[in-house]
Amino acid sequence: MKPASFSYVRPNSWPEALKLVAAGARPGAGTQSLGPLLNLRLAQPDTIADLRHLPDYAGVAVEGGVVRIGAGTTHAAIEDGAVPGRVGEIMAGVARGIAYRPVRNRGTIGGSLAHADPAADWVAVLPALGGAAVALGPRGERRIASAGFVKGIFETELAADELLRAVEVPVLPAEARWGHWKFCRKVGEFSKATACFLALPGKAPRAVLAALDWPPLVIEDASMLAKDPVAEAARIVTAFPELGAWRRALAETALRRAVERAGGA
């Protein structure tokens, strides 16, 4: 199908973009999620404010142990190593598993997080890495912890007059151990169950269970999962009582495999 009519605006500055959004315009980033919604007429906005040409929209900067990734940074740029260091290595591996290269060439990390599809990859991975989403509103920037940013299905902590400006992740030491498992039956599909496991030296490991038609479940202290993955994965999954047997099995297996991939306890 073709989209319903809308008008198209291309703001050249962030204040201008914020004004448009406050007036009800729908932000457009890579349009790799918005495009299908428009074509299927699931979204019928009056106006689209195209963020792609805003200054400093894409790009990566490292400062004081934090990597700031502009919301407009594409999955492909991250796949190709735009984020430096150990955390960049981890993110490049994740990016390669998102959709297909032509989609990754346009789809952005900010668009993906703001879209908040429970099955999306950054929605699962960013809470595991820690850090924050940087929201820009009429009163300036504010930080929202990644672990609590997605609060429902297609629902985030962003206010109606805010834009996602950037995503921040911590610089990770070379010894950081990472495990990630995404269940999908075909390359590039949305996940049916995703688990992440991150172990930093001298700290309790963190885990995330996601893509279960629910916001991601963040386990701040996953020491038990590392010690006894089978029993603990089964216990964690009881947080999703509505899952059928098949989905529950995927979720448990994803958790166990994420731990395994991180090199176990």
Partner 1 sequence: MKKITISLTVNGEPRQVLAEPREQLVDLLRRELMLTGTHVGCEHGVCGACTVEIDGAPARSCISHAGSCDGASVRTIEGFGEDAVMADLREAFSHEHALQCGYCTPGMLVVARDVVLRLPEADEARVREEMAGNLCRCTGYRGIVRAVLRVLAARRLHA
Ligand X SMILES: Cc1cc2nc3c(=O)[nH]c(=O)nc-3n(C[C@H](O)[C@H](O)[C@H](O)COP(=O)(O)OP(=O)(O)OC[C@H]3O[C@@H](n4cnc5c(N)ncnc54)[C@H](O)[C@@H]3O)c2cc1C
Which stretches of the chain bind ligand X, using CB under 6 A? 26-34, 36, 51, 71, 98-99, 103, 107-108, 110-112, 114-115, 120-121, 158, 163-164, 188-190
Whose tokens are 């099995």? That residue is 249
Rounded CA separation 80/111 (Å):
19
Q: Whole-number minimum distance, CB 57 to ligand X, in Å?
A: 8
Rounded CA separation 24/42 (Å):
17
With CB under 5 to 8 Å by kind, the binding choice for 1 among ligand X, partner 1, none is: partner 1
Determine, following the binding rule CB under 8 A, whether residue 14 of this chain makes contact with partner 1.
Answer: no
With CB under 5 to 8 Å by kind, the binding choice for 98 among partner 1, ligand X, none is: ligand X
Cβ closer to ligand X: 142 or 223?
142
Q: Which of residues 113-132 bind partner 1 (CB under 8 A)?
A: none
17, 18, 20, 28: which one binds partner 1 (CB under 8 A): 28
Q: Whole-number minimum distance, CB 33 to partner 1, in Å?
A: 9
Determine, following the binding rule CB under 8 A, whether residue 188 of this chain makes contact with partner 1.
Answer: yes
Binding mask 69-98 for partner 1 (x = CB under 8 A): -------x----------------------
Binding mask 32-51 for partner 1 (x = CB under 8 A): x--xx-xxx-------x-x-
With CB under 5 to 8 Å by kind, the binding choice for 114 among ligand X, partner 1, none is: ligand X
Binding mask 204-243 for partner 1 (x = CB under 8 A): ----------------------------------------
Determine, following the binding rule CB under 8 A, whether residue 16 of this chain makes contact with partner 1.
Answer: no
Determine, following the binding rule CB under 8 A, whether residue 12 of this chain makes contact with partner 1.
Answer: no
Determine, following the binding rule CB under 8 A, whether residue 4 of this chain makes contact with partner 1.
Answer: yes
Q: Whole-number minimum distance, CB 264 to ligand X, in Å?
A: 27
The alpha carbons of the chain give a radius of gyration, in whole angstroms, of 18
Cα→Cα distances 144→113, 148, 159, 252, Å: 12, 7, 11, 29
The string of DSSP codes covering the chain is --PPP-EEE--SSHHHHHHHHHTTPEEESS-TTHHHHHHTTS---SEEEEGGGSTT-S-EEEETTEEEEETT-BHHHHHTT-S-HHHHHHHHHHHHTSS-HHHHTT-BHHHHHHHT-TT-HHHHHHHHH--EEEEEETTEEEEEEHHHHEEETTEES--TT-EEEEEEEE---TT-EEEEEEE-SSTTPPPSEEEEEEE-TTS--EEEEE-SSSPPEEES--HHHHH-HHHHHHHHHTT-TT--HHHHHHHHHHHHHHHHHTT--
Chain contacts with partner 1 (rule: CB under 8 A) = 1-8, 10, 28, 31-32, 35-36, 38-40, 48, 50, 52, 76, 99-103, 105-106, 186-188
